[in-house]
Amino acid sequence: MRPQYPNLAPCPLAQRVYSSRSHLSEIERRVRQPTVDLVERLDTALGAGGALLAAFQLDSPVTPTDDELDALELTRRAEASDVGAETLRRLEAASDDLAMAYPVTAPSALLTCVKAHLAYIKQLLNGRIRFDEHERLLTVAG
């Protein structure tokens, strides 16, 4: 007499969706991805009314189009900057300090500092900066 192996018993669900029990087990354990066709058959066999298929489509990875990738790259470039918020804050503070020192400091001493700051701002303006940073740099340079 042969021993009985419970794992080899037929699976009614597998028979109804024209698949094997081991294949369904692999899908259940996320070893394999089901096809849309198999998910449709499972949805019908289980009487899920389209809910299983809808869940599968939500879980499936979406491949972006070239237009979407171009938009993402444009956004990344627009946000890329060689200037940070702290750099801008310090430049604005230095500009305020120079303005307050104007009445009590010799022009030759101020001119050296102003030229150094303007050279640095010019260098930043030639780099990668966002629109809002560009505006703040121009204000500080003024």
129 in the same domain as 83 = yes
Question: Rounded to whole angstroms, what are the CA distances from 132 to 39, 74, 79, 140?
Answer: 50, 16, 10, 13
132 in the same domain as 86 = yes
121 in the same domain as 86 = yes
Per-residue pLDDT, 1: 47
The span from the CA of 73 to the CA of 89, in Å, is: 28
Q: 91 CB contacts (<8 Å, ≥6 apart)?
A: 117, 120, 121, 137, 140
93 in the same domain as 42 = no
83 in the same domain as 132 = yes
Per-residue pLDDT, 61: 61
72 is a domain residue: no
Per-residue pLDDT, 14: 81
103 in the same domain as 130 = yes
107 is a domain residue: yes
Contacts 24+ apart (CB under 8 A), 46-51: 46/13
Number of domains in the chain: 2
119 is a domain residue: yes
38 is a domain residue: yes
Range of the domain at 105: 77-141
88 in the same domain as 132 = yes
67 is a domain residue: no
Segments in 19-81 forming alpha helices (H):
21-28, 36-46, 51-59, 66-79
65 is a domain residue: no
137 in the same domain as 111 = yes
pLDDT by residue, tens only, the chain of 142 residues: 444 545 555 678 888 888 888 888 888 888 888 888 888 888 888 888 888 888 887 766 656 667 777 777 877 777 778 888 888 999 999 899 888 888 888 888 888 888 988 999 999 999 888 888 999 999 999 8
Residue 137, amino acid: L
104 in the same domain as 53 = no
99 is a domain residue: yes
The span from the CA of 85 to the CA of 94, in Å, is: 14
43 is a domain residue: yes
